[in-house]
Amino acid sequence: MAVDLEEFGAALAELSRLRFGDMRVEDAMHEIVQTTHAIFGVTGAGLMLADGEHHLRNAAVSDERLRHLEDLQIYHGEGPCITAFEDHELVGAEDLTQEQRWPRFTAAAVNRGIRAVLASPLPYNQDAVGAVAVLADQRHPWTPEGELALLALTDLAALLIASMMQGEQQSQLTAQLQLALNTRTVIEQAKGVLVGQQGLTPHRAYQQLRDQARTERRKLAAVSADVVRKAAGQ
């Protein structure tokens, strides 16, 4: 189903009243998610934010299946939201039963009633701190208008997050995001080392770091720091 652009414009104008300080940021994110769900007419919508281990955690969801999406992507270490977050680009899958990009994730997602996903990275200072996603329980072709609509809603959420991060009010959420941003630097450095040493793609380098952290039961940032120190001969 295509997004009604007139309805979307009205909804975006209504959401533009959101200002950090006028309401709790958690409430504002929930309102963005509920509006996204309604505009797309899909099964659910959600806003995920990265934690210190760069797991995407649900900050607001309109359907419990989004919680499955979080759990499955963390468990399998792959999925459309992770790809959008890592590659800083819009990622869509209109039919997960035909999808081959995330083999470990896909079968489990379909089994949980997730058939189609569209995910957009949540930008912050030329980086990403999370993702906004919509999902459907049936095959769902994502139209160009729908993709633009999700990008616009993501930008609105990003403005909200930026206001929160740059404001004086501190919270557990801002601390979580600051930790994610701090650890991102060393993870990106480690990815660069593996790309240079082993000729891996950035995505494969990230998977290798995650797999090593899981096998050794260590934090991703600690494994990444070891890779960087070893490369520097320290």
- Please report the pLDDT score of residue 193 as a whole number: 92
DSSP code string of the chain: ----HHHHHHHHHHHTT--BTTB-HHHHHHHHHHHHHHHHTSSEEEEEEE-TT--EEEEEESSTHHHHHHHHHHHHT--HHHHHHHHTS-EEES-GGG--S-HHHHHHHHHTT--EEEEEEEEETTEEEEEEEEEESS--PPPHHHHHHHHHHHHHHHHHHHHHHHSS---HHHHHHHHHHHHHHHHHHHHHHHHHHH---HHHHHHHHHHHHHHHT--HHHHHHHHHHHHTT-
Q: Which fold has domain 172-231?
A: Arc Repressor Mutant, subunit A (1.10.10)
Instruction: Break the chain into its structural domains and give their ranges.
Output: 5-166, 172-231
Q: What percent of the chain has pLDDT over 90?
A: 27
Between residues 68 and 168, which one has the greater pLDDT? 68
The domains spanning 5-166 and 172-231 adopt the same CATH topology: no
- Please report the pLDDT score of residue 132 as a whole number: 93
CB proximity list for 49: less than 8 A, separation 6 or greater: 56, 57, 59, 122, 129, 130, 161, 173, 176, 177, 180
> Looking at residues 58-80, what average pLDDT do you find?
86
- pLDDT 10s digits, 96-107: 999 999 998 999
- Please report the pLDDT score of residue 22 as a whole number: 62
- pLDDT 10s digits, 137-162: 999 999 888 888 888 888 888 887 77
* Assigned CATH class of 5-166: alpha beta
How many Å apart are CA 204 and CA 208, to the nearest integer? 6
